[in-house]
Amino acid sequence: MISTQAQETRLATTFCGMPFNSPLVLLSGCVGFGEEYTRVEGFSNADVGAICLKGTTLAPRLGNPAHRVFETSAGMLNAIGLQNPGAHHVVKEILPRLDFTETRFIANVSGSTVEEYEEVTRIFDDSPIDAIEINISCPNVKEGGVAFGNSPDMSARVVEACRRATRKPIITKLSPNQTDIAENARRCLEAGSDGFAVINTLMGMAIDAERRRPVIGNNQGGLSGPAIKPIALLKVWQVYQVCKPHGIPIIGQGGVVSATDAIEFMLAGASAVGVGTGLFYEPLACKALNEGINDYLVRHGYARVSDLVGALQLNGVAPPVVACTVD
């Protein structure tokens, strides 16, 4: 638990109308279906604002062949392949075992067609889940395997379909593997998204030079961890420019392993901060992150963590220097 009443007050915030104990969110795929980390001694779900459950599809999936995970010099590649027991099993067997008094739980909806996204969202709508995160980085089987999230048109279609299926808050998880993330955010906002998660993993590859083969069984995977943080910060700032006039909140994520990392994301425009790969380095990181964020607030005279959101002060842009010669 958060140690003091004052710290609890400073760190408490809201996201899409949901009360969060802390701005920290445990990211989808890193903590299973919300039960796994409760087995780690010293960890409490009450230390975080929300937990995103593992990506869920309509039917059960076995996922990709091994190897599925590979550590890089500054992060991790993964290609799990959305292994999950299916939406009906999650709602009937897993959700009843979760303690919704400790934290908020967010379902992560995945699919291969717009219709699948809509149906899985409808299943979670009839459940105690607090909100729904849409993973639009999945390949669209009807469009030759192009990821939904790489096209503003397809992204908006998915959000619009999910909006029809639920009254719960919808958080759209945006992919960095596209030309204009701000335009995609604008289209998703118009289609009914209540918030955004920025960013999903970047696509990458690792190669075994001796075998002359990719290390990942799926050949390529998603890169996460500290290596992507500078990119993620820029993408959060770009999406924030679209969201700010409408009061739409963002979960900033990508390489958070310290309180300073989390603070940087909030300054760039994130209302909450996702922690994922960092948990593989340190399973009990969240308590230290909360304490570090609280210390920053105290040192800089902020009454609450929400005061940090979008507080970045940009450098002035000077005119270009033109070299000249004197005759």
- Token duo for residue 62: 């076995």
Which candidate in 16, 30, 52, 138 is catalytic? 138
Confirm if 276 and 252 have CB atoms less than 8 A apart.
no
- Token duo for residue 186: 């604008």
Q: Which residues pair with 173 in a beta bridge?
A: 135, 197
Q: How far apart are CA 274 and CA 276, in angstroms?
A: 6
Torsion of CA 237, 75, 23, 111, to 10 degrees: 80
Residues 6+ apart with CB under 8 A from 221: 68, 69, 70, 77, 78, 79, 201, 203, 204, 205, 206
For the chain, percent helix, then strand, then coil, each to nearest 5?
40, 20, 40
**Phi, psi at residue 148, to the nearest 5°?**
-55, -40
The CA–CA distances, whole Å, from 147 to 37, 58, 78, 155 equal: 30, 18, 17, 9
Catalytic status, residue 138: yes
Confirm if 239 and 253 have CB atoms less than 8 A apart.
no
If we measure between CA atoms, which residue out of 127, 64, 50 comes closest to residue 90?
127
How would you class 302 by CB atoms within 10 Å of its CB: exposed for 0-12, middle for 13-18, buried for 19 or more? Answer: middle
Catalytic residues: 138
